[in-house]
């Protein structure tokens, strides 16, 4: 591959988040400082558990949102404050594709991913090795820069790596960005099997990019359950809600999906998404990492109780929907410890 430096421009800086290095650093530091320990887990299967120390020892896999920082920045801090990069030499970043259709996954030809804080070096050897598997295509630079699901994590990644390794990016672990397309269950399993050896490596950390429910007619998703645990239906634009608040239904469905994620079962994850239709935009990257975790368990690795189990530590929404004409996006943060 060419040795020429190719930098992915931080194309959403100045709109989705500030392009000012000083302001961005201050914002990230402020949101991280808002996360106080002990952290109480909130997921359906982890509720009642507490996390005494941050970052979590071995907590090198996180799920965090990717909306504009005004909306998702504070929620993402809970994942990043939990993230253990103390042994990291490589960071995988998996995010969904919002604009470019693909049925498998895509890799970047860039040598660096730019942020207002500095440039993150890309692991070109690993991306070249992954490409040989036949499950990937190469992203053009324009496709790469159009996508926000990867970019929105770059400042946080830079911030956390600088805390651990100092301010010189040449000393940072290398980045492996992967755009995951509209993958089938079989493709997610294949990608999970491919990534499992990296997941098993204690010097590799993972960031999975996903928002949760996108609710409202503008998202073509108005699923509503009048009663807890009951059957649901799509609300028409003229529907009048007389039962419980719409935002309570949204939260129930989100937590059902979070519970499926915490279960560690890729099949259960897919079943809940199909049943509810929940618009979790990072469903496919999450499916890939869940498949990778299952692959390790099947191989007898990470046998410690709870290994690879996600625990959700934060849930927020852009607003609380009360009327059918309103909309909201949900943001959830989670962390998983992978023991070997």
Which superfamily does CATH assign the domain made up of 13-304+317-337 to? LigB-like (3.40.830.10)
Q: Where are the beta strands (DSSP E) in the chain?
A: 7-8, 39-40, 50-51, 61-64, 90-96, 105-108, 112-115, 118-121, 136-139, 174-180, 204-209, 214-215, 223-224, 233-234, 310-317, 328-336
At residue 305, does pLDDT exceed 80?
A: no
Quickly state the pLDDT bin for 303 (edges 50, 70, 90): very low
At residue 33, does pLDDT exceed 50?
A: yes
pLDDT, tens digit, 9 for 90 and up, residues 78-99: 999 999 999 999 999 999 998 8
Which whole number is the average pLDDT over 125-138?
97
CA 225, CA 253: separation in Å to the nearest integer?
Answer: 9
Percent of the chain with pLDDT over 90: 91
CA 236, CA 95: separation in Å to the nearest integer?
Answer: 31
Q: Transcribe 214-225 into DSSP letters.
A: EEBGGGTB-EE-
Residues 6+ apart with CB under 8 A from 295: 192, 193, 196
Residue-range domain boundaries for the chain: 13-304+317-337
Which whole number is the average pLDDT over 258-277?
97
Which whole number is the average pLDDT over 139-166?
96
At residue 38, does pLDDT exceed 50?
A: yes
Which whole number is the average pLDDT over 144-169?
96
CA 288, CA 212: separation in Å to the nearest integer?
Answer: 16
* pLDDT recorded at residue 298: 87
């Amino acid at each position: 591959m060419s040795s020429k430096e190719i930098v992915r421009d931080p194309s959403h800086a100045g709109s989705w988040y500030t392009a000012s290095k000083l302001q961005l650093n201050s914002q990230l530091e402020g949101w991280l400082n808002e996360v106080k320990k002990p952290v109480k887990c909130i997921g359906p299967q982890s509720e009642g558990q507490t996390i005494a120390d941050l970052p979590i020892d071995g907590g090198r896999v996180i799920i965090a949102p990717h909306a504009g920082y005004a909306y998702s920045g504070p929620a993402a801090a809970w994942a990043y404050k939990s993230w253990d990069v103390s042994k990291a030499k490589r960071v995988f970043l998996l995010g969904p594709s919002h604009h470019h259709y693909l049925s498998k996954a895509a890799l970047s030809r860039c040598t660096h991913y730019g942020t207002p804080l500095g440039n993150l070096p890309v692991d070109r050897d690993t991306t070249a090795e992954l490409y040989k598997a036949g499950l990937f295509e190469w992203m053009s630079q324009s496709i790469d820069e159009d996508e926000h699901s990867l970019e929105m994590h770059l400042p946080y990644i830079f911030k956390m790596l600088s805390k651990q390794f100092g301010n010189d990016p040449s000393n940072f672990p290398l980045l492996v960005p992967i755009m995951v397309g509209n993958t089938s269950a079989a493709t997610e399993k294949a990608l999970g099997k491919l990534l499992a050896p990296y997941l098993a490596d204690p010097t590799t950390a993972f960031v999975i990019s996903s928002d949760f429910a996108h609710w409202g007619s503008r998202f073509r998703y108005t699923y509503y359950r009048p009663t807890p645990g009951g059957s649901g239906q799509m609300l028409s634009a003229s529907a009048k809600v007389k039962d419980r608040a719409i935002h309570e239904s949204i939260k129930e469905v989100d937590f059902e999906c979070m519970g499926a994620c915490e279960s560690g079962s890729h099949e259960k994850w897919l079943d809940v998404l199909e049943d509810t239709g929940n618009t979790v935009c990072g469903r496919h990257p999450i499916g890939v990492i869940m498949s990778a975790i299952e692959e390790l368990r099947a191989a007898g690795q990470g046998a410690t109780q709870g290994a690879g189990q996600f625990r959700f530590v934060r849930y927020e929404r852009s607003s609380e929907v009360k009327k059918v004409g309103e909309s909201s996006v949900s943001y959830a943060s989670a962390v998983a410890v992978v023991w070997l």
